[in-house]
Amino acid sequence: MSAETDDRTQSHDELVEVFDTKEESEAMVVRGLLESAGIDAMITALDAPQDILPGVGGLIVRVSPERAEEARSLIEEYRNNPPADDDESELTDDSAA
């Protein structure tokens, strides 16, 4: 596992941005989406001095350049077709009937 961590650290500068957000939970969902598709992803924080740039900052999800286009496509597809929570509502509707 340390070899994998070392590889990720060494190639950190070579990774490309595929998604950015101010919400940690959103970045975690995107990273999970990518990793479930077999794409290694890393979240990087964008820290800005709040006294100089208030409200600036956030998180960036990065992947290897070879997988960047695939990652962007997955993210776009997910945004256009989010998972529905209809299963729970159907269970509730059926139990009320």
Q: Which domains does the chain have, with CATH numbers?
A: 2-80 (3.30.70)
How far apart CA 61 and CA 78 sit, in angstroms, is: 15
pLDDT > 60? residue 5: no
Instruction: State pLDDT tens for residues 9-58.
Output: 445 668 999 999 989 999 999 999 999 999 999 999 877 665 666 666 78
